[in-house]
Amino acid sequence: MMARSSMEAGPSSEISPTMDQCHSSSLQRKKRRLHADQRAQLTYQKIAAERKAEKEKRQLEREKRQKVLEEYTSIKQRMNKALLKKNKRGQPNLNAQIEVLLEKIEKRMQKS
């Protein structure tokens, strides 16, 4: 038992200064290599984050355009339905047409 503990402590305490310098220089090279890897990883993460942000931005723009288009089509359909209304005799319903025109005028007044 005693011999083992002295052997374990022995090699670590008997490192020569030249071995220590060689070992430290290899550690420095490893550190530099790790830093380069870390830099590469950071640049990759930065690029990935930029791509993700651009993708989210495109998705938001697409959703916004789709919402505006759906709103436009629903208004258009409602207006067309009101304009195509007919009475019992098949004549156009003027009251519905006047309501459509009134809505258009009110929208213009709100915008300006």
- SS3 string, 38-60, reads HHHHHHHHHHHHHHHHHHHHHHH
State residue 1's pLDDT score: 47
Q: Residue 69: its pLDDT value, please?
A: 97
Phi, psi angles (nearest 5°) of residue 92: -65, 145
Task: Write the pLDDT tens digit of every residue in 20-50.
Answer: 666 677 666 665 566 788 888 999 999 999 9
3-state secondary structure of 66: helix
| Residue 63 pLDDT grade (very low, low, confident, very high; cuts 50, 70, 90) | very high
Phi and psi torsions of 85, nearest 5° = -65, 140
Helices 17-83/94-111 angle, 10° precision: 140
